[in-house]
A and B are shown apart, each in its own frame.
Chain A
Amino acid sequence: TQLLEQSPQFLSIQEGENLTVYCNSSSVFSSLQWYRQEPGEGPVLLVTVVTGGEVKKLKRLTFQFGDARKDSSLHITAAQPGDTGLYLCAGVTVTGTYKYIFGTGTRLKVLA
């Protein structure tokens, strides 16, 4: 059972556009993280959000953790070709055993 659903699955946009990627679950998470995976490389951790409602900014990227800690979003302002890659959310549920789960992924392509 996939507990972390990401949307959209694919996204192709022009340079300069804004976009939002969503990571949703019916489960509560103690924290959520976002990774970016560039073609031919392993995922790289971008951010960890821990508190419900928390907002973190990393240059043009804004990450938000839902108030109920069941969802998260990643907003990119003025996307650039260098933002191209696979974005993965991941986290640990608070219920049951401690298990680290990856989301289904969003593949982003930014066209110059």
Chain B
Amino acid sequence: EAQVTQNPRYLITVTGKKLTVTCSQNMNHEYMSWYRQDPGLGLRQIYYSMNVEVTDKGDVPEGYKVSRKEKRNFPLILESPSPNQTSLYFCASSFEYHDLGYGGYTFGSGTRLTVV
């Protein structure tokens, strides 16, 4: 089944404790992206990757890191989480960037992160 898999689904952590949210897709998609979704603010892009070893900042990159060492994986790293990073996070992929307007994204099921 074609899918984007995120782990974990739920995570409660303390301020400053480094964490990684994993994301893997099995569709050979080139373009991958991380979003956070907050009430009243909608979906905001954190980072994206056009292909292996090519990543760039989205609209809200502060406090996050990403890497794209393999085509299928795109982990999101929070080096020192803070309470304002409490949110619902989504990983998403598309065949290629310019395919978004036609094929759209395939999203993961989300990771609900709480930082206390």
A: which residues have CB within 8 A of B? Answer: 2, 30-31, 33, 35, 40-45, 48, 50, 88, 90-92, 98, 100, 102-105
Contact = CB atoms under 8 A, between A and B. Distances in A.
The DSSP consensus for interface residues of chain A is strand
A31 B101 contact: yes
B21 to A, nearest CB: 13
B57 to A, nearest CB: 13
A35 B30 CA distance: 21
Contacts of B104: 33, 35, 45, 48, 90
A92 B108 CA distance: 21
B75 interface: no
Contacts of A31: 101-102
Contacts of A43: 43, 90, 105, 107
Contacts of A35: 104
